[in-house]
Structure 1
Amino acid sequence: MIVGYAIPGFLFAILLIVLFAGGTYWDLFPLRGLTSPDFDQLSAWGKVKDYFWHITLPVIAASIGSFATLTMLTKNSFLDEIHKQYVITARAKGADERRVLYGHVFRNAMLIIIAGLPSAMIGIFFTGALLIEVIFSLDGLGLLGFEAVMQRDYPVIFGTLFLYTVIGLILKLISDLTYVWVDPRIDFSTRES
């Protein structure tokens, strides 16, 4: 399932390279690396511009690939909620379509999205990051972890896994707080352990 998250970003990265960096159509952005060869001679503002110029295509590829996967997850959640019995009942009672969609379907469908968002984001971000880092020749956390596994460098493997875990826990905490904010009926403090 995690590999499925990386496919849209990978394909979009290839499309971006062909259109904007490969010289096939428009040669607007660099094809590889994080900085230009003359990066040390640039002014402070020139270094900032050069860095953003190099990072534009990888960030767009990761964002659009993540957006495609998250959109598919949201669409499936909304389609599941629209066909439930309470929606049919609300329509039968005479509620207008706007009230049914925003008052009932949206809130319940977003609960599913919010609950599944941390695991989806971890899969989208880190799996896609490895492929995008390889495509654009960037030295990032995904490539570092992959090379550490291939070379059996255990301290680096544990370090990258630690960072992935911390990011996952922070996203889970944000997810739980957002979950309570979207649906105030949910209260984690009254749960028994």
Structure 2
Amino acid sequence: MADSARLTMTPEDFFVWQRDQDELDERVDGQPVPRHRMMTGASMQHDRATVNVIVSLGTQLRGTSCRPTTADIALRTSIRGLRRPDVMVECAPLVPDTYEAREPKLVVEVASPSTTTIDQTRKVEDSKRHPTLASILLVETLKPQALLYRRLGDGWDIETFEGLDAVIALPEIGATLSLAEIYDGLSFPPRRDLAGAG
């Protein structure tokens, strides 16, 4: 009975219900789904990259109408969908006691091994539905690489950034993100030498 009741929750009912939960949920096809289903929490790599993005964007955007948010703030992707990106940049006047972004411009998802497929497929497609969203950035944690989806008219362009020297321009929010900043303090597993394998 509880599950069928959840199916009919409005977004407003969902936010009221969420206040009494121990963990953050997303709303997918009208149903609450644990944000990191089957995860025991974010890894140190994931957490450090997420914090680095927030610190860099927060510093650059101070004094502007834009600000970074954490996964506590939801992105409405459809009538029955609410997602919680790792980082989002909202460019609208601050409204106290609200639980969702009104004019998001950028979504950042930091990949975890168990969520990479979801982040790169369904969550990206869901996020593209928000009318004010200009860019979606997917950040890897096993190597210094990021994938940027940028809205161009009615479609989306995709650009890959690799290596710590790469810099991602984000003119829609008046900021940049260098991979050196994103990965500050992180280390990466050594690459396997396939040529030497025998």
TM-score range, shorter chain: under 0.3
Which structure has the higher relative contact order (CA within 8 Å, separation 6+)? 1
* CA radius of gyration, larger in: 1
| TM-score, structure 2 normalization | 0.24
Q: What TM-score results when the alignment is normalised by the length of structure 1?
A: 0.24
Structure having the larger proportion of residues in helix: 1
- Richer in strand (by share): 2
